[in-house]
Structure 1
Amino acid sequence: MPDIFLSYNREDQAKARLFADAFAAEGFQVWWDTTLRAGEAYDEVTERALREAGAVVVLWSKKSAASRWVRAEATVAHRQKTLVPAMIEACERPIMFELTQTAELSHWAGDRTDPLWRVFLADVRQHLTNRSHEVQGTASNPSREEPGIQEIYLATQSKQSLNRRTLIGGGAAGISLLGTGLIWWLNRKDQQGGAMGSQGAEDNRVAVLPFLNLSGDPKQDYFADGLSAEVRAELARNSALQVAAQTSSATFRERAQTAKEMADKLGVAYLLDGNARKADSLVRVNAELIDGKTGFSLWTQTFERPIDNVFAVQSEIAASVTTALVDRVARQASEKAPPTKASGSSPGGTQNVAAFEHKLKGRALFESALGGQTDLDALSEFDAALALDPNYAAAHAWRSRTLSVLYGQSVSPNAAEKMRLDAIAAGRKAVALAPDFADGYSALGFSLFNVGLDVKAAKPIFEQSINYGRGDGDVLTGFAVFCARTGRADEAASTIARATTLDPLNPTVYRSAGTIALLARRYGEALPLFERALSMNPKMSVAHSFRGTALMLLDRQAEARTAFEAEPNRVFALPGLAILDHLAGKKAEAQAHLEKLVREAGDSGLYQQAQVFAMWGELDRAVAQLERAYQVKDAGLANLFTDPLLDKLKLNAAYQRLVSNIGFV
């Protein structure tokens, strides 16, 4: 097994030799293609060495960045966690590797005493140590089979005809109910044992449980989950029904509680349960409507269709459930919104089964909320769906949303600008293809606001999303977030109240509730909401740092430090620590935290740098960073108007110009 596999472009061979010789001088066994022997099969030997190497050193240059073989080798290394990249020439790396920490060695000429080389060498040694431990730990439990280098190469080659695979980042934390109204509502839930209890639930509230996968293949989970999500979306189109959102429904995937207990927790009158089996060319779906008060079945039906009729199945299930419920819901509501008929496809949908499956896979990856490579894989699935059906509006919407959520992470300015424009374009495409598709408007509004920083353009788009999506919890939440950040607190509260009833067991609701209390300067009210969110999901991003901010502004500094140190997202943790140390008179420590933020986040942390300077009282520097953030379209500026950490800037003329330019006032 070689210690190091060297991946490079042939035209960079002279520079690659410097690396190979330096590694060999350190005692490492290096594999690069000059070691191939006559008669050896190039692809087989290369792939074996690539997979066996403890560290894969990829040398990025203009030529290697354009090489499909180097990209494929880097992709395998990334999946194996053996990738250790270095820049040997100023260039734009392939987008999926922009987020990977890369050594800057374009100046290096082989000097083994060079400090930057020694740092890079230490990174390589650490990867070799980690890899050795992984190999020992998994020797008796081999991982699932990975795609081969040729397969990845061909996939890379085929993507040249697809939309560019991009990634971007930014603040996507939702904002929820304002003030004491939510506190009262949460207390009432606690007293009644759930979301007001199914006995008190409105008679038109239904939850769609995640369909069970009966295929015997765990890799097919996405299909069963996706099918239940599509049925949920179909039901939500009918304004006579209130449909619980997906996050809360997914809480009961294991069916460890009775139907009555699940309905009580979700605050719904009815449950739609089901299972799906996909095999060869057939899909078989069993669906059951259950009375949440009694636990008795009201209706059950089995659908078996060729796989290319899966769209008809989901529409038939939705229509049958609506019909079964219509006599039980309020008469006025049902007269205003007659039952949805099976149309074979919903707004924004497709008739291409393969495209549909790619979209389901992408959505499952994106909603896993693991970030990084998972989001890249989601984008790849959405691109694959669009390659099969360029008019698939839902895939465009999810692609836009994924790009917008990731916008602003450590990427080059040119790549970031391409990503920003691509996110907005994907949202516009979704709306153009399906003018009555609520999620398309929601995705476009989000991109225009968070990526485009254009409040005036986003406002009518978000309002249109509500016109079509009053039964969709995600759409409602997106609109509420927009309202809260633009100073429309009453609208935010009333909208998120409905969204919250649709998804009462979602920790992001409580994080959002705490956020809006924080923005309203009600710091004491924010704390129990953040704590509720973290009790449900201790690894939740941003919640720790927002809780730390509330504690800091309440002058509870020791508790605030603990909260910031627990925050997994360092771009949010470091500003808080820098502010805390400055308040404590520890200027050197505060400066060290700021420098670390600058070093780790670069321009993607300009907004956070401005927060630090504002709280330090260095207002001119704070405004200067905000102006730089505006030039690069930093997504953090979506918080500009209501951020308590910028309160000292409220009377500053330059700050007010920025507020006006973005369209907050």
Structure 2
Amino acid sequence: MRFMFGDYQLDQERRELTLRGRIVGVGPQVFDLLLHLVRNRDRVVSKDDLLEVVWNGRIVSESTITSHINAVRKAIGDNGEEQRLIRTVPRKGFRFVGAIEVGAAGVGAIGETPQPGGSGIASRASSEGRETPSGPVLPDKPSITVLPFQNLSGDPEQDYFADGVVEDIIAALSRLRWLFVIARNSSFAYKGRAVDVTEVGRELGVRYVLEGSVRKSGNKVRITGQLIDATTGTHLWAERFEGTLDDLFELQDRIAESVVGAIAPQLERAEIERAKRKPTESLGAYDYYLRGMAKLHSGTREAIDAALPLFHKATELDPEFASAYGGAAWCHLWRKVNGWMTDRPREIGEGVRLARLAVEFGRDDAVALTRAGHALGHFVGDLDGGIALIDRAVLLNPNFAPAWFLGGYLRVFRGEAESAAEHFTHAARLSPLDPEMFRMQAGTALAHFFAGRFDAAVTWADKALGNLPILLSAMALTAASHALGGRTEEARQAMRQLRALDPSLRVSTLKEWLPIHRPEDLARFAKGLRLAGLPE
């Protein structure tokens, strides 16, 4: 059968959707969903019906159904507000309401000459003529992103719990050196959005997408997950795990293990075992840690102030919780570099103490080593030691984007501008939609500045400020770069904004603010800020 509606034609035999003779690229399940709605246009199609026909009875999340309906609407020029062709019937399902003409199968689009060779030629046209949005090229090894799991607990306050489950799965998968894993922050850019997994795969440059849901009620938890080949829309694996919070880590380990097994069945058991590492055996401490991380990611002064006591509570409940010590140390670091400290000597001393505890208890914890190494590099000026700790974190977890860009910062402070720029670029590739991209952008600006490329430094600093206008280092780089580039008025304007952010900043305190190792780099920064109007 061939179904025609408006300028569209849906050819069941060729499995093609065309718009005025031009093939519209859709995934196999999106095509099946549209075809089922069109063929059953005389009735409301329930979600259970869609699960049976499109997903062969497999359990999938509500977000998956919603994303596929949205993909169908997008393909045929409809949307959820207008619902000209596909109507949502609340609590019942969906119905195709557009006017349809039915024709014989295998006939080309209106005004198109049928091609010889049947469906084989049509199939090649579908794959070769399909237009797809541009995105990163797929890596030369298996690649995956884990989307935020849907919180089905009915309590918005439990979002942090569902987010934490996903972060643990990302961390477990990231420990596998053969697997390219998109960083947490880019995955979470899709939180709260109805998405088409094929589009997610194209945007992030990955082959596989893991999505799922978490339902937490009292002491019971249910985790569902499904793995999808984003290049074809094919469901590779789906499973449900139930248990109590006492064995939450075991549930997460089982999900990570099943996903790894689905991607590469030949993987040896030893590799799977390496993905099973628990941050702590104390669930109460872990709960506080998740809350602290949720605050830390935003980077604002208020959020950092709120995160610090949460990390402290986690370490009170588990005195050997390395990642929590690292998070707390990093809160003090972020206060330092943004001029938010109220008792500088005491806070620096506390930051050093916390960072050293993170290293002591976290020799095999990439998160703890990264945060602690960066903090120690700033607090005590031990750039070599900090880089060594972060490099170990990269060995433990090659896909941990913060290890790459925080290692880049210490390298640029040590005078290795080009190597640092490569680290920032790689971090951005691991996390291309990172809401904390301002950190990578500011680092790239710093690398260009110390390399003498002042125009490029301004460009990258402006990008960082566009994402976080209160970022002190980016504003200072803007002022100094404009001044050294001969743009006096722009430099003065940036300096006024810099002084408003931190009135106490002086040329003489630059070394205390940032651990710049090479005298020539420090002299260049001081000269630029002095020309822009920063007091001595």
Q: Which category describes the TM-score, using the shorter chain as reference length?
A: 0.5 to 0.7
1:581-592 maps to which residues of 2 (within 5 A)? none
Asked if 2 retains the 8 angstrom alpha-carbon contact of 1:316 and 1:342, the reply is no
1:385 counterpart residue number: 314
Other-structure match for 1:366: 296
Counterpart position of 1:399: 328
Measured in 1, the distance between the counterparts of 2:415 and 2:132 equals: 33
Give the match for residue 455 of structure 2: 524
Which residue number in structure 2 is paired with residue 196 of structure 1?
Answer: 136
Distance 1:646 1:402, change over 3 A: same
The two structures have a TM-score, normalised by structure 1, of 0.54
Q: Does 1:553 align with 2:481?
A: no
- The structural deviation recorded for 1:563 is 4.5
| Counterpart for residue 474 of structure 1 | 402
Query: What TM-score, normalized by structure 2, do the two folds share?
Result: 0.67
Q: Which residue of 1 aligns with 2:182?
A: 244
> Aligned pair in 2 of structure 1 residues 503, 206: CA closer, same or farther (>3 Å)?
same
Change in 2 beyond 3 A, CA 1:351/1:648: closer
| Structure 2: unaligned runs, 5 residues or longer | 1-130, 530-536
Structure 1 residues 194 and 448, CA gap change in structure 2 (3 angstroms): farther
Kept in 2: contact 1:312–1:345 (CA 8 A): no
Q: Percent identity?
A: 26
Letter in 2 for 1:217: D
- Deviation string, structure 1 residues 274-333 (Cα, Å, up to 9, x no partner): 221211011111112121212232211111110121111222111111111125xxx8xx
- Corresponding residue SS for 1:435: coil
Q: Give the distance between the partners of 2:206 and 2:419, measured in 1 at CA.
A: 25
Partner secondary structure for residue 166 of structure 2: helix
1:496 and 2:374 are equivalent in the alignment: no
Please say if 1:645 is aligned against 2:525: yes
| Structure 1 segment 239-278 matched on structure 2, within 5 A | 239-278=177-216
Say whether the 8 Å CA contact 1:345–1:351 is kept in structure 2.
Answer: no
Among 374, 378, 387, the residue aligned to 1:450: 378
1:309–1:545 distance in 2 versus 1, CA, 3 Å: same
Question: Which one is further off, 537-546 or 296-305?
Answer: 537-546
Q: Does 1:233 align with 2:146?
A: no
- Displacement after TM superposition at 1:505 (Å): 2.2
Unmatched 5+ residue regions in structure 1?
1-190, 572-596, 611-624, 650-665
Cα deviation for residue 479 of structure 1 reads: 1.2
| Alpha-carbon distance between aligned partners in 1 of 2:182 and 2:149, rounded to the nearest angstrom | 15
Tell me the amino acid that sits aligned with residue 469 of structure 1.
N
Offset at residue 365 of structure 1 (A): 1.0
Q: 2:391 aligns with which of 452, 463, 466?
A: 463
Alignment of 1:293-332 (within 5 A): 293-327=231-265
Partner amino acid, structure 1, of 2:367: D
Asked whether the equivalents of residues 206 and 268 of structure 1 are also in contact (C-alpha less than 8 Å), the reply is yes
How many residues get paired?
A: 393
* Paired residues of 2:147 and 2:187 also in contact (CA < 8 A): yes
Q: Give yes or no for contact 1:236–1:242 (8 Å, CA) kept in 2.
A: yes
1:351 counterpart = 2:281: yes
CA positional deviation for 1:367: 1.1
Determine the C-alpha separation between the residues in 2 that align with 1:245 and 1:407: 26
CA–CA separation in structure 1 for the residues paired with 2:247 and 2:215: 14
2:144–2:180 Cα contact (<8 Å) kept? yes
- CA distance, structure 2, for counterparts of residue 305 and residue 492 of structure 1: 45
1:558 corresponds to which letter in structure 2? E
Moved more, 509-518 or 257-266: 509-518
- C-alpha change, 1:432 and 1:400, in structure 2 (3 Å) is same
**Contact 1:510/1:533, CA 8 A, preserved across alignment:** yes
Q: Is the 8 A contact 2:323 2:368 kept in 1?
A: yes
Distance 1:410 1:356, change over 3 A: closer
CA distance in 1 between counterparts of 2:457 and 2:346 reads 37
Query: 1:566, CA displacement in angstroms?
Result: 5.7
Deviations 1:43-69 (A, max 9, x none): xxxxxxxxxxxxxxxxxxxxxxxxxxx
Residues 218 and 564 of structure 1: CA distance in aligned 2, closer, same or farther (over 3 Å): farther
Question: Is residue 451–residue 635 contact of structure 1 (8 Å, CA) maintained in 2?
Answer: no
